[in-house]
């Protein structure tokens, strides 16, 4: 069964067609990278799928349910989640609180207006578990905004983990990272995909990462899909080379 079905998707900004008719299906547990030159429409695609933008026309189905035009918070609750391109967290909450609020949101416990947050609850246990996975237990009481860039990316991963996604969109997660951090990030993504069967959609510019981990690569240019296949097929594809070289 297709986890995500995109049909006839078009997104116009005035006269500019940022997405000019895209049809894509993604299967459960699949690891797909989306690549393409700047302006190809990759981020716009993510924005439309996650509800940040509404499409000009076309439909999006998630596990059979029509999510076209739904607001972001409803789509997130269906467990279609995303990791952002730039660090986009809660700077004056502690690392612990950043993760905990996501855990609470997932568990639908954020409306508990008379439950003192400092009383221990299952949400706390889960928060600590995730902190352990991302390795930031020792920094849990630091304000998120004061952490290094790399550590903030880890918190971002932690937030994503806490949401228990079925489908996870990652928008350039290794952006600005050195080789060690990139490896660590790649490991996490791999673990999510292999151990927890999360369907992954990855936008990346680092080709070594893309070609080494992806099962499937979708290439976009100028708002349309120009190639779609496994890494070998894409490597040999003429149109892909044109798109990149002609840039």
Q: Among residues 15, 111, 120, 245, which is the contact residue for other proteins, using CB under 8 A?
A: 111
Stretch that binds other proteins, among 4-12, 37-45, 69-77, 203-211 (CB under 8 A): 69-77
Question: Binding of other proteins at residue 120 (CB under 8 A)?
Answer: no
Kindly tell me which of 18 and 123 has the beta carbon lying closer to other proteins. Answer: 123
Question: 25, 61 in Cβ contact below 8 A?
Answer: no
Contacting other proteins within 17-56 (CB under 8 A):
50
Measured between alpha carbons, how far is 144 from 12 in angstroms, rounded to an integer? Answer: 36
Q: How far is CA 38 from the centre of its chain?
A: 18
Q: Two tokens at 218? A: 């979708």
Tell me the closest approach of the beta carbon of residue 165 to other proteins, in angstroms.
Answer: 11
Region of 15-23, 89-97, 147-155, 191-199 interacting with other proteins (CB under 8 A)? 89-97
27-35, 108-116, 207-215, 228-236 -> range binding other proteins (CB under 8 A): 108-116
Closer to other proteins by Cβ: residue 106 or 153: 106
**Tokens in use for 52?**
């940040």
CA nearest to 71, candidates 44, 52, 56, 87? 52
User: Least Å distance between CB 234 and other proteins?
Assistant: 30
Question: Measured from the CB atom, is 165 or 223 closer to other proteins?
Answer: 165
Q: Give CA angle at 89 (170, 100), nearest 5°.
A: 100
How many of the chain's residues bind other proteins (CB under 8 A)? 38
Give CA–CA dist 200/52, Å, rounded. Answer: 19
Interaction of residue 71 with other proteins, rule CB under 8 A: yes
Answer yes or no whether residue 117 interacts with other proteins by CB under 8 A. yes
Q: Which residues pair with 225 in a beta bridge?
A: 220
Q: Is 159 in the site for other proteins (CB under 8 A)?
A: yes
Long-range CB contacts for residues 129-137, cutoff 8 Å, separation at least 24? 130/99, 130/103, 130/158, 130/161, 130/162, 131/95, 131/96, 131/99, 131/158, 133/158, 133/161, 134/158, 134/161, 134/188, 136/95
Q: Does 105 bind other proteins (CB under 8 A)?
A: yes
Query: Who's near 231: CB < 8 A, 6+ residues apart?
Result: 210, 211, 214, 217
Among 10, 17, 20, 93, binds other proteins (CB under 8 A): 93
Q: How many CB atoms lie within 10 A of CB 108?
A: 9
**Considering the rule CB under 8 A, would residue 106 count as an interface residue with other proteins?**
yes
Q: Give the nearer residue to other proteins in terms of CB position, either 65 or 241.
A: 65
Using CB under 8 A, list all residues that contact other proteins.
50, 71-74, 76-77, 81-82, 84, 88-93, 97, 100-102, 104-106, 109-118, 123, 143, 145, 159, 163
């Amino acid at each position: 069964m297709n986890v995500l079905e995109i049909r006839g998707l078009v997104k116009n900004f005035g006269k500019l067609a940022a997405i000019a008719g895209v049809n894509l299906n993604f299967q459960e547990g699949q690891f797909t990278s989306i690549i393409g030159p700047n302006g190809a429409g990759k981020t716009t695609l993510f924005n439309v799928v996650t509800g940040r933008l509404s499409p000009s026309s076309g439909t999006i189905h998630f596990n059979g349910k029509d999510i076209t035009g739904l607001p972001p918070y409803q789509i997130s609750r269906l467990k279609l989640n995303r990791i952002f391109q730039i660090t986009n967290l809660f700077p004056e909450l502690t690392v612990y609180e950043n993760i905990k609020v996501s855990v609470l949101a997932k568990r639908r416990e954020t409306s508990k207006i008379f439950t003192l947050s400092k009383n221990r609850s299952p949400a706390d246990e889960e928060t600590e578990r995730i902190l352990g996975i991302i390795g930031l237990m020792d920094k849990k009481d630091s304000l998120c905004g004061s952490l290094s860039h790399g550590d903030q990316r880890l918190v971002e991963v932690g937030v994503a983990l806490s949401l228990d996604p079925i489908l996870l969109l990652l928008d350039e997660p290794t952006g600005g990272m050195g080789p060690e951090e990139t490896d660590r990030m790649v490991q996490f993504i791999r673990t999510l995909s292999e151990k927890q069967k999360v369907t992954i959609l990855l936008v990346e510019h680092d080709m070594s990462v893309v070609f080494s981990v992806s099962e499937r690569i979708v290439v976009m240019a100028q708002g349309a899909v120009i190639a779609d296949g496994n890494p070998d097929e894409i490597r040999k594809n003429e149109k892909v080379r044109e798109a990149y070289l002609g840039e």
